[in-house]
Amino acid sequence: MLRVIVLGAAAGGGLPQWNCACAVCQAARRGDIRPQTQSSIAVSADGARWVLINASPDIRQQLAATAALQPQHGVRASPLGAVLLTNADVDHITGLLSLRESQPLALYATPRVHGVLAANAVFNVLGRERVARPALTLNQCQPVLDGAGQDTGVRVEAFTIPGKIALWLEDPDAANFGSVAEDTIGLAISSSTSASRLFYLPGCAALPDAIKARLAPQDSLLFDGTTFTEDEMITCGVGSKTAARMGHLPMSGDSGALALWQDVPLRRKLFIHINNTNPVWLPDSPARAAIGAAGWQLAHDGMEFCVE
Ligand code: MLT
Ligand code: MN
Ligand code: ZN
């Protein structure tokens, strides 16, 4: 069995975002809906040792809110044994800087994302003598080891998905801004004893049949829920980028996530990495009704479930 805790369900900026007064951010400030931190999950095979998937800028708040991830034994110890990265987006790597303080960890990423970290000396705060940086092997199920080399019982298979290089690394003159396949991966996560898997795809720009074919009906899915509509940022008046320009699929529309996953039966379908402009955050919105009618749920901070 795999235990899953949603540490953060929002996309970059969180909900509310510091400089945003869109309808959803204002609802969060009024207290009509609950604030949400930037996306990250933690998984565990034994309930004792935990693996963090993406390190959110909000990690300090997330750890403070999650008893399972706080020191249980010893004066300087953490149940957190490893961190896996799905890309180098600022909302997925900056939390690494808060994991300094001489804690043994294993930091897993593709060689491409490891290269981004290695090129930024600030990440040396995670000293290599304590924080190993193993590469994820694509298309192969591998055990996740902790900083001491012990098997956490968590298993992961990484695979490339259509996406985009991190916004802060975009090359304006290059095709698709210089993105390469290993910039964005999806993860199929399980425990050594579970029969089904959790697929974690918090950033995804398209959905080829080959990705859908990886999932079996007993599997669970946490999928990119950045925007509801392709032009949401524009119609909300907060930006000029479409979902596609940001490397994301909208939820709605003929080529949106609801339509593309419709013919794939799964144990659970959850959206995560949900932008603060997305009207699904509002319980009475037509958008929320639409995802519910299609069999989807929203992840939220503090949500827990088990993958058997
Ligand atoms: C994204 O998900 O598109 C990025 O996190 C955006 C950003 O870097 O702010
Ligand atoms: Mn993001
Ligand atoms: Zn907003």
pLDDT tens-digit readout, 2-29: 999 999 999 999 999 999 999 999 999 9
Distances (CA, A) of 108 to 146, 234, 304: 10, 36, 23
Give the span between the Cα atoms of 256 and 267, in whole angstroms. 20
Give the span between the Cα atoms of 132 and 95, in whole angstroms. 17
Give me the mean pLDDT over the 17-42 stretch.
98
Omega within 30 of 0 (cis) for the link into 143: no
| Closest ligand 1 atom, residue 166 Cα | 8
Question: How would residue 135 be classed by pLDDT, with cut points 50, 70 and 90?
Answer: very high
Give the span between the Cα atoms of 195 and 157, in whole angstroms. 14
Which ligand is in closest contact with the Cα of 233? 3
**pLDDT tens track for 242-251:** 999 999 999 9
pLDDT of residue 101: 92
Which ligand is in closest contact with the Cα of 177? 1
Give me the mean pLDDT over the 138-167 stretch.
97
Is 11 close to ligand 1, i.e. is its CB under 6 Å away? yes
pLDDT of residue 230: 98
Is 165 close to ligand 1, i.e. is its CB under 6 Å away? no
Give me the mean pLDDT over the 142-159 stretch.
98
Supply 45's token pair: 């095979």
**pLDDT tens track for 74-106:** 999 999 999 999 999 999 999 999 999 999 999
Ligand 1 test: best mutation among 19, 37, 89, most atoms within 8 Å of CB? 89
Ligand 3 (single-atom ion) residues, CB below 5 Å: 20, 22, 25, 276
**pLDDT tens track for 108-123:** 999 999 999 999 999 9
All domains of the chain in start order, with CATH: 2-307 (3.60.15.10)
Residues 6+ apart with CB under 8 A from 74: none
Ligand 1 test: best mutation among 37, 39, 167, 248, most atoms within 8 Å of CB? 167
Is 90 close to ligand 1, i.e. is its CB under 6 Å away? yes
pLDDT of residue 208: 97
Question: How would residue 274 be classed by pLDDT, with cut points 50, 70 and 90?
Answer: very high
Q: How far is the CA of 12 from the centre of ligand 1 (A)?
A: 5
Contact 225, 273 (CB under 8 A): yes
Give the span between the Cα atoms of 308 and 300, in whole angstroms. 21
Question: How would residue 279 be classed by pLDDT, with cut points 50, 70 and 90?
Answer: very high
Which ligand is in closest contact with the Cα of 167? 1
Is 247 close to ligand 1, i.e. is its CB under 6 Å away? yes
Mean pLDDT, the chain, rounded, equals: 97
